[in-house]
Chains A and B, each alone.
Chain A
């Protein structure tokens, strides 16, 4: 990638972060998703421990 192109991109980045989209819902949804995974994991882990 040429130097010129890289420069252009940095300029664009600055512009877009200023008016970045509102992604609050996405953030929370992904966190809930992670939480669900951890919860399921630990519930089967618990089953493993009690059967050990």
Chain B
């Protein structure tokens, strides 16, 4: 039996309390298997980002169980969640979130810091990751010197340089024009492998339908979960 990379069991996430209580996620169960390529859609406020934050160990659930890469992270200390994050997960954000004073290579290298990796190896692996997104030749450019599409590709390189089993992307094409969006999606699709799961949140119907599996959310619940292609 193949164990899921990500598993939510009756997970809730409640913000605030009393009158201002918001059930951002309301008893959601979900399993993401190795090789999955999942898109999550739903109207604004339906809980997509909340779910992604929980899947990515950036947040802890109010209720329920979360297992990431075989490890129960539901009720563990911040340090443990941080460790699982660093080991198993790569993030891509809508706003790229590159560090402005570092060049592309150093931004990618940031993901390999404090892991006992020698500087030479760190540089080689980061250059290789930049090469995979077609930006090795711009490794010495700082974020301001790169276009939005290029910045998102650097962010992709940073996410995959650690060889994470799970790649989480929140609206990765939300800040890009259609040409750059297509380019980023092409790279993301290419990263899909039997050793990895890709989960992306999107507003874009076309992008959502290009995934292998599509999950629709509404009011903190999953309303449909369909396999588009095997």
Are A and B subunits of one complex? no
B residues in contact (CB < 8 Å) with A: none
